[in-house]
C-alpha cells in the first residue's frame, strides 16, 4: 500500500471530527459546558446535571456515534432503557427504598397538598396549548410542574419523545433551582403570623401500617390508573423492601448501588438525546419558560391550599409546608424548613413538610397516570369523551 506522508496526513485530517463540525455543534458543546459548570462549580443537582452535560458533550462531537439516535453507539444502547421505559421506573425503585412514608402516614391530610401542587402541571398544560403545542406535547411539558425527573422522562417518552431532551433538562434544572424559585413565592403568599405557626408533633406509626401502605397504594392507584403502574409499582416495591424488614440486602442495593448505576445510565442517555437537531429549536426556549411557570404555579398551588388547610384546622397547619407538595424530595421540604426557620429559628417544619413532599411524588405519578389514560395508547376512548364534554360546553 503506497501511503506517502501527504496522503497519510490528509487521510487523518479527513477523519477528524473537525471536518464535520458545524456551528450548531459548537453551540451544543457550549451548552454542555454550561451544564457541567452548573453541576461542578455551582453544585446544581450535580448527580444528574454532570452526566447529562457530559452525555450532551460527547453526543455533539461529530462522527463519535454517541448520540441517542446513532444506532449501534454506546449511548444509543443506554437510550433503549429510556425509550422502552426501563430506567425511570428503576429510579423510582431506589427512591421508594430511600423514602420514609411515616410523616405522610402520621398526617394523611397532607396528601391533599401533594394534589394541590399539581395545579402547576395543569396551568402549564393550558399555557403550552396557548403557545401552540398539541395536547400530548403540552401534557409532557406540563408534568415538569410535578418536579419529578423520572416522571417527566417517563411521560415525555410516551407522549412526546421528540421533546424528551428539553423537557428533561428543564425538569432537572428547575429542580436544582427549587431553593431559589420557591422562597419568594412562599413569602409573597403567606403572612408573617402564618409562617410562625408551630405544628404539633407527629404521632408514631405502627410498623405494620408502614408495610401495608405500599401494598394498598399499589392496589388502589394502579387499579384506577394502570398506565402508571411501572412508576408507582416500583416506588412502592422499593418502599416495601425498606419497611418489610426481611429484605435488607435488596433494600440496601436499591437505595445505593442500583439507583446510582441507573442514574448514570439515565442521565447519560438523556444527555445523548440533546443533539443540535433536537435541541436548537424555538420549542426548547418555550419549554424552558413553561417549566419555570410550572414550578412557580405548583409552589403557589401548594401554599394556597396550605393556607386553606390552615384556616380549616384553626391555625394548626403552617402553609409553608404546602410548597413541599411539588415533589423534588427532599429539597422542597428543606426549603419549607428554611423559610419557616427564618421567622422563628425554633420552628422545625422539616418532618411536617416531608408528608406533602412524598405525597407530591405520588401526586405527580398519579397526574402522569391521568395523562396516560387520556392520551396514551389506551386512551382514545377517553379522548373522545373529553371532546364530547367540550362540545357540550361550547354548544349554544
Q: Which stretch binds another protein (CB under 8 A): 51-59, 103-111, 313-321, 340-348?
A: 103-111
Closer by beta carbon to another protein, 57 or else 217: 217
Smallest separation, CB 249 to another protein (Å): 24
Q: Is position 297 an interface residue for another protein (rule: CB under 8 A)?
A: no
Q: Least distance in Å: CB of 352 to another protein? A: 16
Which parts of 185-204 interact with another protein (CB under 8 A)? 203-204
CB of 129 to another protein, least distance (A): 4
- Please identify, using beta-carbon distances, which residue of 340 and 360 lies nearer to another protein: 360
Binding mask 330-369 for another protein (x = CB under 8 A): -----------------------------x--xx--xx--
Q: Which residue has the cell 426501563?
A: 86
Nearest C-alpha neighbor of 99 from the set 248, 235, 283: 235
Identified binder of another protein from the candidate list 69, 109, 244, 253, rule CB under 8 A: 109
Residue by residue, what is the 3-state secondary structure of 285-317?
HHHHHHHHHHHHHHHHHHHHHHHHHHHHCCCCC
Binding of residue 298 to another protein (CB under 8 A): no
Please, which residue, 38 or 104, has the CB nearer to another protein? 104
Q: Which is nearer to another protein, 123 or 327 (CB)?
A: 123
Contact 186, 299 (CB under 8 A): yes
Measured from the CB atom, is 183 or 355 closer to another protein? 355
According to CB under 8 A, which residues from 151 to 180 bind another protein?
A: none
Residues in region 17-36 near another protein by CB under 8 A = none
Using the contact rule CB under 8 A, the part of the chain among 162-170, 289-297, 315-323, 383-391 near another protein is 383-391
Phi, psi of 249 (to 5 degrees): -65, -45
Binders of another protein: how many residues, by CB under 8 A?
49
CB of 119 to another protein, least distance (A): 7
Closest CB to another protein among 21 and 129?
129
Site residues for another protein, 111-150, by CB under 8 A, read: 111-112, 114-115, 118-119, 121-123, 125-126, 129-130, 134-135, 138-139
CB of 41 to another protein, least distance (A): 38
Of 317, 396, 378, 371, nearest to 139 (Cα)?
Answer: 371
Question: The cell 398551588 sits on which residue?
Answer: 301
Among 16, 22, 80, 390, the residue binding another protein under the rule CB under 8 A is: 390
Segment lying near another protein (by CB under 8 A), choices 56-64, 77-85, 216-224, 252-260: 216-224
Site for another protein contains 208 (CB under 8 A):
yes
* 212 near another protein (CB under 8 A): yes
Which positions touch another protein (CB under 8 A)? Answer: 104-105, 108-109, 111-112, 114-115, 118-119, 121-123, 125-126, 129-130, 134-135, 138-139, 203-206, 208-209, 212-213, 216-217, 220-221, 224-225, 359, 362-363, 366-367, 370-371, 374, 386-387, 389-390, 393-394
Amino acid at each position: 500500500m503506497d501511503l506517502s506522508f501527504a496522503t497519510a496526513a490528509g487521510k487523518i485530517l479527513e477523519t477528524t471530527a473537525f471536518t464535520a463540525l458545524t456551528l450548531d455543534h459548537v453551540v451544543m458543546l457550549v451548552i454542555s459546558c454550561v451544564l457541567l459548570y452548573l453541576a461542578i462549580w455551582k453544585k446544581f443537582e450535580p448527580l444528574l446535571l454532570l452526566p447529562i452535560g457530559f452525555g450532551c458533550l460527547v453526543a455533539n462531537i461529530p462522527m463519535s456515534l454517541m448520540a441517542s439516535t446513532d444506532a449501534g453507539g454506546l449511548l444509543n444502547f443506554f437510550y433503549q432503557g429510556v425509550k422502552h421505559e426501563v430506567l425511570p421506573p428503576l429510579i423510582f425503585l431506589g427512591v421508594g427504598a430511600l423514602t420514609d412514608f411515616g410523616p405522610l402516614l402520621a398526617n394523611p391530610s397532607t396528601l391533599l397538598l401533594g394534589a394541590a401542587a399539581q395545579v402547576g402541571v395543569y396551568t402549564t398544560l393550558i399555557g403550552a396549548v396557548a403557545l401552540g403545542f398539541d395536547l400530548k406535547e403540552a401534557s409532557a411539558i406540563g408534568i415538569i410542574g410535578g418536579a419529578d425527573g423520572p416522571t417527566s422522562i417517563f411521560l415525555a417518552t410516551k407522549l412526546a419523545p421528540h421533546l424528551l431532551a428539553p423537557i428533561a433538562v428543564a425538569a432537572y434544572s428547575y429542580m436544582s433551582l427549587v431553593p431559589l424559585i420557591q422562597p419568594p413565592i412562599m413569602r409573597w403568599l403567606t403572612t408573617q403570623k402564618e409562617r410562625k405557626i408551630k405544628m404539633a408533633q407527629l404521632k408514631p406509626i405502627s410498623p405494620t401500617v408502614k408495610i401495608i401502605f405500599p401494598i394498598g397504594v399499589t392496589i388502589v392507584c394502579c387499579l384506577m390508573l394502570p398506565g402508571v403502574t411501572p412508576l408507582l409499582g416500583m416506588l412502592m416495591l422499593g418502599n416495601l423492601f425498606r419497611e418489610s424488614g426481611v429484605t435488607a440486602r435488596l433494600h440496601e442495593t436499591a437505595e445505593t448501588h442500583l439507583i446510582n448505576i441507573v442514574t448514570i445510565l439515565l442521565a447519560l442517555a438523556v444527555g445523548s438525546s440533546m443533539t443540535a437537531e433536537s435541541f436548537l429549536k424555538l420549542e426548547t426556549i418555550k419549554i424552558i419558560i413553561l417549566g419555570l411557570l410550572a414550578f412557580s404555579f405548583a409552589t403557589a398551588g401548594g401554599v394556597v391550599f396550605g393556607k386553606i388547610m390552615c384556616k380549616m384546622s384553626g391555625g394548626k397547619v403552617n402553609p409553608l409546608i404546602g410548597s413541599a407538595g411539588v415533589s423534588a424530595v427532599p429539597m422542597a421540604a428543606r426549603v419549607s424548613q428554611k423559610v419557616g426557620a427564618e421567622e422563628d429559628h425554633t420552628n422545625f417544619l422539616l418532618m411536617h413538610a416531608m408528608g406533602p413532599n412524598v405525597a407530591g411524588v405520588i401526586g405527580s405519578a398519579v397526574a402522569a397516570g391521568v395523562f396516560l389514560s387520556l392520551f396514551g395508547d389506551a386512551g382514545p376512548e377517553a379522548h373522545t369523551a373529553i371532546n364530547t364534554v367540550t362540545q357540550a360546553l361550547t354548544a349554544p
